[in-house]
Amino acid sequence: MRIAVIGGDGTGPEVVAEGLKVLQSAAEKVGFEYTTQDFDVSGDRYLAAGGDPNAASIPIISDEEIAELATFDAIYLGAVGHPDVAPGILEKGLLLKARFELDQYINLRPVTLYPGVETPLAGKRSEDIDFVVVRENTEGLYTGMGGVQYKGTPNEVATQIMCNTRMGAERAIRYAMDLCMRRDDKKQITLVGKTNVLTYAHDLWFRAFMEIGEEYPELTKDYNHVDACCMWFVKNPEYYDTIVVCNMFGDIITDLGAMIQGGMGIAAGGNINPQGVSMFEPIGGSAPKYTGKNVINPLAAICAMGMMLDTLGEEQAAKAVEQAVITLCNSKLKNLGAGRMGYSTTEVGDLVVAGL
């Protein structure tokens, strides 16, 4: 396999280094071969090249680099976000650009509470929190459609269009239903939306969900409004098996999901193009205040590496990585928070390798 590596900003390169250590060990153990290639794409590079910190003035990642990334088997990404660059510039210019240009139309975010990991939900145990969120990843409120008129005047008008296509909804729903069929759970697929207010956008989603659902008679089809879903994540997360959701609501509920599974230190995600090149990343950000201190938790990045191996067909290696993480969480690690693990970033990576 050929793997493109983008360490990115802040703690991104530190956690990616631990994920790569685990990859090397897994490859030796299971017996597959791979090469990696680093892509220096980051806020630092943007600023060093003379990029304007307040407006996107030069590309964060060039079209040539995107075209090159498309030739790899997978992309491993650390983090995006720089304290000296205004919000939106790096996110749009790197993360969203890669998702859109490489048509990574699924954002796959498992919410699993591993045994021994503390959850803020009182009385909930590992067996209660184990579901997966399939977030649509290329449409909705993320397309950048819309605009501003009369900016800076009392008459200013800003619109941000929520773009929903039948094709986009359909391929996310099908992916989620196929995944739900493969999961060892209660075969329940929940569409999360807001049909009571988004009477055009989520009516399209709801009809698509019901129509496609007929092709999956074994699945229980279920619908939740997004506000109720937030309530249930906290009150009875054991209710969920597989969720399919639009881009913006998926962004929000998966941060809540990350918290109930033990925090950003453990939450991983995959930006998946089932027909193309996918990109794997920890859900957490670049954590500037922890950068360079060797205290950030690399487990989310290591779990993202596990997802990458699974997607590339190395299921045995993926399972071994996950098991090593579970064992570590359930034995030595005190806490999953940065600086509170009882070990440094590099030591946690070494412990996972030792576990493998």
Which chain residues interact with Mg ion by CB under 5 A? Answer: 251
- SS3 category, 105: coil
Per CB under 6 A, does 101 bind ligand IPM?
no
The correct pick among 9, 14, 139, 251 for binding ligand IPM (CB under 6 A) is 251
Binder of residue 91, out of ligand IPM, Mg ion, none (CB less than 5 to 8 A by kind): ligand IPM
Binding of ligand IPM by 310 (CB under 6 A): no
Based on C-alpha coordinates, what's the Rg of the chain? 20
Among 95, 129, 243, 304, binds ligand IPM (CB under 6 A): 95
- Quote the tokens at residue 85: 């660059």
**Closest by Cα among 142, 133, 61, 106 to 277:** 106
- The nearer residue to Mg ion, 338 or 356, going by C-beta atoms, is 338
If we measure between CA atoms, which residue out of 46, 80, 70 comes closest to residue 278? 70
**Which string of b and e fits 70-83 if b means at least 16 CB within 10 Å?**
bebbbbbbbbbbbe
91 touching ligand IPM, by CB under 6 A: yes
Q: Residue count of the chain, please give it.
A: 356
Task: Quote the strand ranges of 41-87, DSSP E.
Answer: 74-79
Pick what 347 binds: Mg ion, ligand IPM, none; C-beta below 5 to 8 Å, kind-dependent. none
- Binding-site size for ligand IPM (CB under 6 A) equals 4
Angle, vertex CA 281, rays to CA 331 and CA 79, nearest 5:
105
Which residue type, as a one-letter code, is found at position 198? Answer: L
By CB under 6 A, is residue 128 in contact with ligand IPM?
no
Cβ at position 255, least distance to Mg ion in Å: 6
Question: Is residue 295 involved in binding ligand IPM (CB under 6 A)?
Answer: no
* Residue 73 binds ligand IPM (CB under 6 A): no
What is the rounded distance in angstroms from the CA atom of residue 195 to the CA atom of residue 225? 7
Question: Considering the complex, what minimum distance in angstroms separates the CB of residue 304 from ligand IPM?
Answer: 12
- Which lies closer to ligand IPM via its Cβ, residue 77 or residue 356? 77
Q: Would you tell me how many other CB atoms lie within 10 Å of the CB of residue 103?
A: 18
- Does position 18 interact with ligand IPM (CB under 6 A)? The reply is no
Q: Which is nearer to ligand IPM, 65 or 251 (CB)?
A: 251
Can you read off the two tokens belonging to residue 79? 């983090």
Nearer to Mg ion, 96 or 356 (CB): 96
Which is closer to ligand IPM, CB of 47 or CB of 256? 256
Residue 268, classed as helix, strand or coil, is strand
Q: Which residues bind ligand IPM (CB under 6 A)?
A: 80, 91, 95, 251
